[in-house]
Amino acid sequence: MRLLIVEDDREAADYLKKALREAGHMAEVANDGDTGLAIALDESFDVLVVDRMLPKRDGLSLVSDLRSRGNETPILILSALGQVDDRVTGLRAGGDDYLAKPYAFSELLARVEVLARRRAPNSADTVYRVGDLELDRLSHQVTRGGEEIVLQPREFRLLEYLMRHAGQVVTRTMLLENVWDYHFDPQTNVIDVHVSRLRSKIDKGFAKPLLQTVRGAGYMIRDGAR
């Protein structure tokens, strides 16, 4: 995956670049808004990571400028302003996701990977499959090995989100944001409890666990044998 990091703090940018390379991705760095816009228009990237406060041209204007020129590259906005209304203005300007500083790198990586794959066509599928687990988005039926599993509505949405991003790490905040539509800090391990409930329904009694905990990052659903 090829990324462009637009960030004026050189240390933060270098750290990101290095960490992304270790995760197997290529990253370019631009240190101000004008350069960032020029490079983003000139070359092709899978995801842009744009800091909100930049010299010369601020991040929001960069994002809305790119969008007005028809550039649809997924954008993750980074900001030290993490409050609800800041998030709303960031997403309105054309950003696809918003991450407040300071963040855990695992969180950023998970979000960037989800963004890069957002354009993949599988989001239009009506049936998600992971191993012998099947989720039908239309009939709301979940089966594993042909046997039906009964889920609560929220558990269904949780599984649906995990399966849409099968093979990708999904963090707890991503789950809270996308499954519950909350952007706050739940303080307790609420998400963990919900996930372990779901796990007991879909993995219990089966030899091969599908829903895995990724230490220090979040969760991932995948067919382990693959």
Partner 1 sequence: MTALGKLLRTTAFKIIAVYLIVFALFAMAVIGYLARHTQALVVSQITETIDAEIKNLQEVHADGGIGRLIDVIAARAQQPGSNLYLVTSFNGAVLASNVTDIDNVTLSRQGWSEISYRRTDEAADSLHDSRALVRVAFIGGFRVLVGRDIEERERLREILATPARWSLAVIVLLGIAGGVFVTRRVMKRIDNMTATSEQIMRGDFGGRLAVTGSGDEFDRLANSLNAMLGRIENLMGGLKHVSDNIAHDLKTPLTRLRNRAEEALRKNQTEKELRRALESTIEESDNLIRTFDALLMISRAEAGEVRKTMIDFDAAEIARDVAELYEPVAEEGGLKLGIDAPDALPVRGSRELVSQALANLIDNAIKHGGTTAGSKVTVAARKSGDRIQFTIGDRGPGIPEADRLRVLERFVRLEESRSRPGAGLGLSLALAVAKLHGGDLRLEDNSPGLKVTLAIPAQPVQTKGT
Residues within the interface to partner 1 (CB under 8 A): 82-85, 88, 100, 102, 104, 154, 180, 182-190, 193-194, 197, 216
Cα gap 112→130, rounded to integer Å? 22
To partner 1, the closest distance from the beta carbon of 100 in angstroms equals 8
Nearer to partner 1 (CB atom), residue 9 or residue 86: 86
To partner 1, the closest distance from the beta carbon of 11 in angstroms equals 17
Nearer to partner 1 (CB atom), residue 3 or residue 179: 179
Q: Say how many Å lie between the first and final Cα of the chain, rounded.
A: 21
Cα gap 16→31, rounded to integer Å? 13
Angle at 101 between CA 97 and CA 104, to 5 degrees: 85
Q: Is 41 left (phi over 0), alpha (psi -120 to 50) or beta?
A: alpha
Nearer to partner 1 (CB atom), residue 23 or residue 104: 104
Q: What is the DSSP string of 175-202?
A: HHHHHS---S---SSHHHHHHHHHHHHH
To partner 1, the closest distance from the beta carbon of 101 in angstroms equals 9
Which residue carries 């808004």 as its tokens? 33
Nearer to partner 1 (CB atom), residue 65 or residue 192: 192
Nearer to partner 1 (CB atom), residue 82 or residue 209: 82
* Residue 32 token pair: 């101000």
To partner 1, the closest distance from the beta carbon of 187 in angstroms equals 5
To partner 1, the closest distance from the beta carbon of 104 in angstroms equals 8
The answer to whether 201 and 151 are in contact (CB under 8 A) is: yes
To partner 1, the closest distance from the beta carbon of 38 in angstroms equals 33
Nearer to partner 1 (CB atom), residue 100 or residue 135: 100
- The helix (H) or strand (E) run that includes residue 50 is strand 47-51
Cα gap 26→3, rounded to integer Å? 6
